[in-house]
Amino acid sequence: MVTIKDVARDAGVSVGTVSNVLNGGRVSEARRKLVEASIEKLGYQVNTLAKGMRMQKTDYVVVILPNLINPYFALLLDALESELSAVGKQVLLCLSGDDAEREVAFMDMAKQNKVDGIIGVTYSKVEEERIENMAFVSIDRHYKSHIPCVAGDNWQGGWLAAENLHKRGATNLLCFMTMSSVDSEVRKRRVGFTEYCMEHDLSCNSVEMSEKQIVSVYESYGSRKLINNMLRAYISPSMGEHSIDGIFTSSDHLAMIVQEELEEMGKRVPEDIQIIGYDGLQFLNQGKPIVSSIAQPVHEIAKQAVKSLTEMIENGKAEDVTNIPVMFHEGPTTKPLETISE
């Protein structure tokens, strides 16, 4: 590997002169040309991260996500990478597996390597002191007041889900959520959903699973069996007329799993039970919703997160933005409205 000393030796100048050329310092034109010629001849590559550490700027941003099994996080990563690239930043991706120890390790690594900042989707309990004096933007989760939170309007999303199930004839509803032990905006989805049900005198039940349990569904028979048992408790013959006819899930990922389990039980979706997910995922290259869903404004969330991070880097503070509008997208897991009115 070619080093700065090799360049200096080849150009016949000091290491300090090469450093000045690389960092835009004062140096004669003749020596600059000598150094540039040696750099090209030897194929010297500047270590951007190491250079940034010396200058307290690296142009790298750590992005912490729970996983990429949930397609929403993959879409969010793509949007964040695009927005960060537009402002001259590169992504260092860290997948936490929703594990607190790994999240802490990533935060410590980011701090030690003096990256420009962190954008994180974190659901574990982490000591907030670990991210003090860092430019940190949280998506969907509240930390201390000096750490900005960016999110879509989760309360509105829950309300829209209940409203659209109700419009399509569902009256016995189930809210199937991922649970979190931290102050997460995602909790507001259930609040909005429940408040609509209360205001319109609808039956509303609620069950919760951890994100880890949902991710492990594709690897663990036990996790899928747990979902199956939870659903059976609300659609058994003993429930009679109170058997659920509409389900709202906290993600499209979970909605697809619920649909599979219902169909294995012999239930038709949407004829017997309608489902609305959350995130707005679409079939690749078709632009059609995979399930009926509350669509997250993923590009707007990414744009605001990068804007807030830039403000944190430059000014040390940024405001919470948690009311980015969401929308209902009709898909194959709810009844078309026109069939209801006929």
Amino acid 52: pLDDT: 46
Is 51 inside a domain boundary?
no
The range of the structural domain enclosing residue 25 comes to 4-46
Residue with tokens 């009709």: 330
- Output the six-digit token pair for 194: 């429940």
Q: Which pTM does this prediction carry?
A: 0.78
Same domain, 283 and 183: yes
Q: What is the mean pLDDT of residues 318-326?
A: 93
**Cα–Cα distance, 71 to 68 (Å, whole number):** 6
**Cα–Cα distance, 158 to 252 (Å, whole number):** 14
Residue 215 carries which side chain, given as an amino acid letter? V
Same domain, 286 and 302: no
Which of 39-53, 167-181, 204-218, 290-304 is most confident? Answer: 290-304
Same domain, 171 and 240: yes
Amino acid 215: pLDDT: 56
Tally the domains of the chain. Answer: 3
155 pLDDT above the threshold of 60: yes
Neighbours of 198 (CB within 10 A): 11
Those residues whose C-beta lies under 8 Å from the C-beta of residue 109, and which sit 6 or more positions away, are 62, 94
212 pLDDT above the threshold of 80: no
Residue 322 carries which side chain, given as an amino acid letter? T
**Cα–Cα distance, 21 to 192 (Å, whole number):** 59
**Cα–Cα distance, 257 to 318 (Å, whole number):** 38
47 pLDDT above the threshold of 60: no
Same domain, 292 and 160: yes
3-state secondary structure of 14: coil
Amino acid 228: pLDDT: 85
Residue with tokens 């003090």: 132
Same domain, 136 and 225: no
Is 318 inside a domain boundary?
yes
Is 218 inside a domain boundary?
yes
Average pLDDT, the chain: 85
Confidence of residue 339 (pLDDT cuts 50, 70, 90): low
Same domain, 188 and 219: yes
Q: Which CATH number does the domain housing residue 27 bear?
A: 1.10.260.40
Is 180 inside a domain boundary?
yes
131 pLDDT above the threshold of 60: yes
**Cα–Cα distance, 69 to 219 (Å, whole number):** 11
333 pLDDT above the threshold of 60: yes
**Cα–Cα distance, 73 to 90 (Å, whole number):** 18
Mean pLDDT is lowest, of 129-133, 202-206, 309-313, 326-330, for 129-133
Same domain, 143 and 192: no
Q: What percent of the chain has pLDDT over 70?
A: 84
Mean pLDDT is lowest, of 284-293, 294-303, 322-331, for 284-293
Same domain, 98 and 128: yes
The burial class, CB within 10 Å (0-12 / 13-18 / 19+), for 18 is buried
Same domain, 284 and 169: yes
Confidence of residue 237 (pLDDT cuts 50, 70, 90): low
**Cα–Cα distance, 202 to 112 (Å, whole number):** 53
Q: Which CATH number does the domain housing residue 70 bear?
A: 3.40.50.2300
Is 145 inside a domain boundary?
yes
Amino acid 145: pLDDT: 66
Amino acid 53: pLDDT: 41
The burial class, CB within 10 Å (0-12 / 13-18 / 19+), for 149 is buried
Same domain, 142 and 267: no
Tell which wins on pLDDT, 63 or 45.
63
- Outline where DSSP puts E strands in 10-128: 60-65, 90-95, 117-120
Same domain, 185 and 283: yes
Q: What is the per-residue pLDDT across 56-75, written as a single tens digit (0 to 9) for each?
A: 567 899 999 988 888 899 99
**Cα–Cα distance, 80 to 187 (Å, whole number):** 23
Q: What is the per-residue pLDDT across 83-103, written as a single tens digit (0 to 9) for each?
A: 999 999 999 999 998 787 888
Is 91 inside a domain boundary?
yes
Q: If you write DSSP's letter for every residue of 262-326 in order, what string do you get?
A: HHHTT--TTTT-EEEEEE--B-TTT--BSSSEEE--HHHHHHHHHHHHHHHHHHS----EEEE--
Same domain, 160 and 280: yes
Contact predicate 2/16, CB 8 Å: no
